[in-house]
Amino acid sequence: MSPDASSMISCVPRKKEAAMETLDLKKLIKFLPDRISREMLSDKPEMRIALMCLEKGQKLEPHKAPLRLLMYCVEGKGTFTVGDEKIVAGEKTCIPCDPGVLHGFAADQGERLVVMAVVTPVE
């Protein structure tokens, strides 16, 4: 490298990036007998993540929101509502929902249900 080229290179220290937080969902799962247990895992404007634990028979009533949503079944089996559709889904199933579409879920398949909901704004 010529002396002229080396004088144009500057060494700028990199910003230390924030460490990503690792969440052990198994430790966060808890059930309440009288209502859905909700745990906010992330509550940032660009993405919200909630862990919801439902005892048998509990349900999140179908509702609409102006946000993009992904419902991920972590554990158990239940019925998911997306628009006019009812989807019976079990563990490791992802169910996306567009903004303004009716959505909800119920632990109505004879077992508990754990759902992680990821919500992002519409751009």
Reported as a single tens digit per residue, the pLDDT across 83-103 is 999 999 999 999 999 999 999
24-121 CATH pick, 2.60.120.10, 1.10.357.10, 3.40.830.10, 3.40.50.1360: 2.60.120.10
Q: Which two tokens stand for residue 104?
A: 């909800």
Q: Which two tokens stand for residue 27?
A: 């430790």
Concatenate the DSSP letters of all residues of the chain into one string. --HHHHHH----PPPPPPPPPP--HHHH----SSS-EEEEEEEETTEEEEEEEE-TT-EEEEE--SEEEEEEEEEEEEEEEETTEEEEEETTEEEEE-TT--EEEE--SSS-EEEEEEEEE--
Q: Where are the domains of the chain?
A: 24-121
Question: At residue 8, does pLDDT exceed 70?
Answer: no
Give residue-wise pLDDT tens across range 10-39. Answer: 444 545 555 677 889 999 999 999 999 999
Residue 73: pLDDT band with limits 50, 70, 90: very high
Which residues touch 29 (CB under 8 Å, ≥6 apart)?
51, 53, 74, 75, 114
Residue 6: pLDDT band with limits 50, 70, 90: very low
Mean pLDDT computed over 101-121: 98
